[in-house]
Amino acid sequence: MTSIDSAVLKRAAGARALDFIADGMKLGLGSGSTSEAFHELLAVRVRGGLNIVGVPTSERVAQLARSLGIPLAKLDDTAPLDLTVDGADEADRDLNAIKGGGAALLREKIVASSSRKMIIIADGSKLVDRLGRFPLPIEVVEFGHKTTAARITRAIAALGYANVPLTLRSKDGAPLKTDSGNLLYDAGFGAIADAAKLDAALSSVTGVVEHGLFVAIASTLVIARPNGVEIIERSTSAG
Ligand code: 5RP
């Protein structure tokens, strides 16, 4: 897939997500290139009179939304939100996902968890049978981060994940700092056997602020492929 094809698919996913937007909604605005395609389309509607307010999930998106004329608000002044629309690095048909490739996972998870619904928009390459090929981002506090990384290694080894490389993410030759001033480790699982168990294990490691596994948070996946857009909804049936 060329980058032009990929841009067309991201825009197609964003365009389909517009169908879920209604006047008066309070929206979580996701981060990443697919979300940005959605924001550009949303801004056209806003200029046409759509009345919404957005809560950005990163400083970059706040800046973009301002430049596009999308009205913004603080999460604490607007929660609960009606809907968050965001991208993903991987998603499966159970609507679990890996996010954080763009380093915004902490605010993305706070905003999505404060929303009645979360829609993930992506091109078809992001839909996988099993999560884990994309390295899982884990956000940690800077203080003692190598010790935290060792604790992560022990916690995941207890679940049977051996020899998982943990790579400190860097940018321009220095450790990357997130919008909240933390560091990121990318964990190369290869394949994640049980996302819910891993979610709980990582969340219990002292020093871990958050991680990019989104388990049972998204309610809808919008997947754009060259032959059309597929909508996958979370099953609400019991058992
Ligand atoms: C940022 C994210 C993004 O949503 C994810 O990385 C997907 O990005 P893109 O739409 O550019 O492929 O989680 O933290």
Q: Do 113 and 155 belong to one domain?
A: no
Instruction: Please tell me if the CB atom of residue 54 comes closer than 6 angstroms to any atom of ligand 1.
Output: no
Question: Is 69 in a helix, a strand, or coil?
Answer: coil
Instruction: Please tell me if the CB atom of residue 42 comes closer than 6 angstroms to any atom of ligand 1.
Output: no
Distance of CA 218 from the midpoint of ligand 1 (Å):
15
Q: Do 220 and 181 belong to one domain?
A: no
Q: Do 109 and 221 belong to one domain?
A: yes
Does some domain include residue 237? no
Q: Atom 7, ligand 1: which residue's CA is nearest? A: 88
Does some domain include residue 165? yes
Neighbours of 104 (CB within 10 A): 29
Burial class for 94, CB neighbours closer than 10 Å (0-12, 13-18, 19+): middle
Q: Where are the beta strands (DSSP E) in the chain?
A: 26-29, 53-56, 81-86, 90-91, 97-98, 115-123, 136-140, 166-168, 170-171, 174-175, 183-187, 208-211, 213-214, 220-225, 228-233
Q: Do 221 and 203 belong to one domain?
A: no
- 156: Cβ contacts below 8 Å, ≥ 6 apart: 164, 187, 189, 198, 201, 202
Q: Do 38 and 117 belong to one domain?
A: yes
Closest ligand 1 atom, residue 105 Cα:
14
Q: Which residues are catalytic?
A: 108
Model pLDDT for residues 215-225, shown as the tens digit of each residue: 999 999 999 99
Closest ligand 1 atom, residue 86 Cα:
4
Does some domain include residue 29? yes
Instruction: Please tell me if the CB atom of residue 102 comes closer than 6 angstroms to any atom of ligand 1.
Output: yes
Does some domain include residue 235? no
The pTM (predicted TM-score) of the whole model is 0.96
Does some domain include residue 33? yes
Burial class for 72, CB neighbours closer than 10 Å (0-12, 13-18, 19+): middle
- 11: Cβ contacts below 8 Å, ≥ 6 apart: 37, 41
Which backbone phi and psi does 108 adopt, to 5 degrees?
-60, -40
Model pLDDT for residues 61-80, shown as the tens digit of each residue: 999 999 999 999 999 999 99
Give the residue among 45, 31, 127, 44 at the shortest CA–CA distance from 86: 31
Give the residue among 139, 163, 144 at the shortest CA–CA distance from 153: 163
Strands 26-29 and 81-86: parallel
Model pLDDT for residues 95-109, shown as the tens digit of each residue: 999 999 999 999 999
Residue with tokens 């619904």: 117
Model pLDDT for residues 43-66, shown as the tens digit of each residue: 999 999 999 999 999 999 999 999
Q: Which structural domain range is residue 180 located in?
A: 136-208
Q: Atom 3, ligand 1: which residue's CA is nearest? A: 32
Domains: count for the chain: 2
